[in-house]
């Protein structure tokens, strides 16, 4: 099916009607003049909350939340009051513009309130994925120099406070934490509902997101308030959001998708979002789609496959008929998932390609264009992409090379925190941003993702840096050396596969395998733990001493050459 049109452009009142005409005439700078007007004062919180209230939508629900035996909803007016309260709490405790506030929380209203409260005061947010363990938390909090943290009692046990000299203030969203931790709810309840904006420029930092690296430590990607411009456009054109929609992006807010499209993008259009706490459960997810009348759904192929596996006796019990648009992110969209959507809902799933570094959807299947199976689609208007060789020369159709984007779009990350050289590496082939993904383009301008060049593993939509896993495995007393690669998997897209060299005196066993899994899980995160191991005499290395990822990939695919 790859490369063949599986469905034509959908008829209907799409926000983006004529792709070619808009692509030929649109520029983000023109949009910026309309979006920002003549004001030099910028703060994304004004755009996601205050403009909705000023537009008469203050009493409209902004957030539906279910999870952890809680069920809550917030209108834009109620959200504004809570955001203002927390902004004042931060100011009361000495946080100022440019300071860093880390959020280490599961999906819950306190995350979104804290994020926007910090942003309103020009404080830079550092989101952390709730599954991170102590080593991963220490590294990210230490590198960012976070002065304050919002977390809960359970996750606080993974925060090595005495190893983080910059961390002065901790807010707990539930229970007492001792050692001076403050009760988030008590602090917020006692604060004023009026708060002044810290007015910023488009280039002022909004958040630092730590992304996995293949051969280095996690890198802190700095995103700025101008991200809103790109999110506004893609929420309209890619997600086709309208005022009467109910939107559910299932991604965790510890990752870029859960931030950009979990709440910022839909609120820029005044669209209510659904937030579902807790672990994945196929029936619970279907029930949520039904209960809230979700009309636009953004999720990952792994989740779709798990719902398919649950069977029609599960998803068929619920009324999912309000779904009018389904989008996919994080891993390749396969034919079986596409066929299920066409048969079950009568609509295709629209794949989207982008990265933590890009900050917004970049290459996508759009409702106004035909969909080709296997393709990630065409560039969003205003974006210029190409497939280039290692010298930056554009390659002709059907030649695999580096997927590159011409720099300058508004949601583009602006720096790597405390590592400008790492940032410049992305732009080594000017004017291109080199994504690290391999791809090719066909003659119709459709792009086809071919995997990561740098070895980063994508398992169930989560990015895992092999370097981190290898380093953690080498810390175990039984492991002399380790090499890690992604192995194709029907459910998760890829799983983490580890090749290890044992130290003398150790014998391989299933007990040792489980011990190593737990060692990585408890040190880094559950999604980073290897699901398979193979013992080797040595780990292949390049002439400069790095793990030879190409050879590891050959091993994983069982290619005769390797």
Q: Which of 171, 199, 227 is the last residue of a domain?
A: 199
pLDDT score of 456 more than 80: no
pLDDT at residue 1, as a whole number: 39
pLDDT score of 188 more than 90: yes
What is the C-alpha to C-alpha distance for residues 48 and 76, in angstroms, rounded to an integer? 9
What is the C-alpha to C-alpha distance for residues 62 and 48, in angstroms, rounded to an integer? 10
Structural domain includes residue 313 = no
Q: Is the peptide bond before 431 cis (omega within 30 degrees of 0)?
A: yes
CB atoms within 10 A of CB 347: 15
Q: Which residues contact 59 (CB under 8 A, 6 or more apart)?
A: 75, 76, 77
DSSP E strands: which ranges in 269-324?
A: 273-276, 296-299
Structural domain includes residue 445 = no
pLDDT at residue 560, as a whole number: 59
Q: What is the mean pLDDT of residues 220-233?
A: 98
Q: What count of residues does the chain have?
A: 562
pLDDT at residue 438, as a whole number: 84
Q: Which residues contact 486 (CB under 8 A, 6 or more apart)?
A: 452, 455, 457, 458, 459, 464, 494, 495, 496, 497, 556
Q: What is the mean pLDDT of residues 139-147?
A: 97
Q: What is the mean pLDDT of residues 144-149?
A: 98
pLDDT at residue 213, as a whole number: 66
What is the C-alpha to C-alpha distance for residues 110 and 116, in angstroms, rounded to an integer? 10
pLDDT score of 385 more than 80: yes
Q: Which of 150, 165, 199 is the last residue of a domain?
A: 199
What is the C-alpha to C-alpha distance for residues 46 and 197, in angstroms, rounded to an integer? 8
CATH of the domain at 159: 3.40.50.980
Place of tokens 């917004």: 360
Structural domain includes residue 421 = no
- Which range scores top for mean pLDDT: 288-292, 332-336, 393-397? 288-292
Structural domain includes residue 422 = no
Summarised one tens digit per residue, pLDDT across range 59-94 is: 999 999 999 789 999 999 999 999 999 999 999 999
Q: Where are the alpha helices (DSSP H) in 216-272?
A: 227-237, 256-259, 265-268
Domain that holds residue 531: 457-556
DSSP E strands: which ranges in 273-394?
A: 273-276, 296-299, 325-328, 349-353, 363-364, 371-372, 378-379, 385-388
Do 460 and 300 form a contact (C-beta atoms < 8 A)?
yes
pLDDT score of 508 more than 80: yes
Q: Which residues contact 455 (CB under 8 A, 6 or more apart)?
A: 214, 215, 466, 485, 486, 549, 552, 553
pLDDT band of 176, cuts 50, 70, 90: low
Structural domain includes residue 84 = yes
pLDDT at residue 561, as a whole number: 56
User: Which tops the pLDDT comparison, 120 or 398?
Assistant: 120
Span of 19-23, 122-126, 371-375, 404-408 with lowest mean pLDDT = 371-375
pLDDT at residue 347, as a whole number: 94
Q: What is the mean pLDDT of residues 22-46?
A: 94
Q: What is the mean pLDDT of residues 152-163?
A: 95
pLDDT score of 177 more than 70: no
Structural domain includes residue 29 = no
pLDDT band of 326, cuts 50, 70, 90: very high
Q: What is the mean pLDDT of residues 485-503?
A: 92
pLDDT at residue 132, as a whole number: 95
Angle at alpha carbon of residue 151, lines to 73 and 86, rounded to 5°: 55
Span of 211-215, 282-286, 432-436 with lowest mean pLDDT = 211-215
CATH of the domain at 513: 3.30.300.30
As a whole number of Å, the CA-based R_g of the chain is 23
Do 447 and 363 form a contact (C-beta atoms < 8 A)?
yes
User: Which tops the pLDDT comparison, 449 or 10?
Assistant: 449
pLDDT over 90 percentage in the chain: 81
Do 102 and 77 form a contact (C-beta atoms < 8 A)?
no
Q: What is the mean pLDDT of residues 212-218?
A: 69
CB atoms within 10 A of CB 557: 12
Number of domains forming the structure of the chain: 2
Q: Which of 180, 199, 218 is the last residue of a domain?
A: 199
C-alpha distances in angstroms, 188 versus 37, 77, 194, 241? Answer: 34, 16, 12, 32
- The mean predicted confidence, pLDDT, of the chain is 93
pTM of the entire predicted model: 0.85
């Amino acid at each position: 099916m790859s490369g063949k049109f599986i469905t034509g452009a959908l008829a209907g009142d799409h926000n983006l009607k004529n792709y070619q005409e808009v692509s030929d005439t649109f520029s983000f700078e023109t949009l910026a003049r309309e979006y920002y007007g003549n004001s030099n004062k910028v703060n994304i919180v004004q755009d996601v909350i205050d403009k909705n209230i000023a537009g008469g939508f203050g009493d409209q629900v902004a957030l539906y939340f279910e999870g952890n035996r809680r069920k809550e909803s917030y209108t834009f007016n109620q959200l504004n009051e809570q955001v203002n309260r927390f902004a004042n709490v931060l100011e009361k405790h000495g946080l100022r513009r440019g300071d860093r506030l880390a959020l280490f929380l599961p999906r819950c209203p306190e995350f979104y309130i804290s994020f926007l409260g910090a942003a309103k005061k020009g404080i830079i947010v550092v989101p952390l994925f709730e599954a991170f363990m102590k080593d991963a938390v220490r590294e990210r909090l230490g590198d960012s120099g976070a002065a304050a943290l919002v977390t809960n009692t359970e996750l606080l046990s993974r925060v090595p406070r005495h190893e983080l000299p910059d961390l002065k203030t901790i807010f707990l969203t539930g229970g007492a934490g001792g050692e001076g931790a403050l009760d988030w709810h008590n602090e917020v309840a006692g604060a004023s509902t009026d708060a002044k904006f810290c007015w910023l420029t488009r280039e002022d930092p909004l958040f630092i997101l730590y992304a996995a690296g293949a051969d280095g430590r996690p890198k802190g990607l700095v995103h700025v308030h101008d991200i809103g411009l790109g999110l506004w456009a893609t929420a309209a054109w890619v997600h086709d959001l309208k005022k009467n929609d109910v939107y559910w992006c299932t991604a965790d807010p510890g990752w870029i998708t859960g931030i950009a499209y979990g709440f910022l993008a839909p609120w820029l259009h005044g669209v209510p979002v659904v937030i579902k706490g807790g672990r994945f459960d196929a029936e619970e997810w279907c029930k949520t789609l039904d209960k809230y009348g979700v009309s636009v759904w953004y999720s990952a192929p792994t989740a779709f496959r798990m719902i398919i596996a649950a069977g029609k006796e599960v998803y068929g019990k619920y009324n999912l008929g309000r779904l009018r648009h389904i989008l996919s992110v994080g891993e390749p969209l396969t034919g079986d998932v596409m066929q299920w959507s066409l048969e079950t809902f009568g609509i295709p799933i629209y794949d989207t390609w982008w990265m933590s570094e890009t900050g917004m959807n970049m290459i996508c299947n759009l409702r106004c264009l035909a969909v080709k199976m296997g393709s990630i689609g065409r560039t969003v208007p205003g974006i210029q992409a190409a497939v280039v060789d290692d010298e930056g020369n554009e390659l002709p159709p059907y030649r695999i090379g580096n997927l590159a984007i011409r720099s300058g779009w508004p949601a583009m990350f602006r720096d790597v925190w405390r590592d400008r050289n790492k940032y410049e590496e992305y732009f080594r082939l000017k004017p291109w941003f080199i994504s690290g993904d391999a791809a090719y383009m066909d003659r119709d301008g459709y792009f086809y993702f071919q995997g990561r060049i740098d070895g980063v593993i994508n398992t169930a939509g989560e990015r895992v840096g092999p370097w981190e896993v290898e380093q953690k495995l080498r810390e175990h007393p039984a492991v002399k050396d380790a090499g890690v690669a992604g192995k194709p998997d029907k459910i998760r897209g890829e799983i983490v596969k580890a090749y290890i060299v044992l130290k003398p005196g150790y014998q391989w066993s299933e007990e040792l395998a489980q011990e190593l899994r737990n060692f990585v899980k408890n040190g880094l995160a559950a999604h980073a733990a290897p699901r398979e191991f193979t013992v080797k005499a040595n780990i292949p290395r390049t002439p400069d001493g790095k793990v030879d990822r190409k050879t590891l990939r050959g091993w994983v695919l069982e290619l005769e050459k390797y």
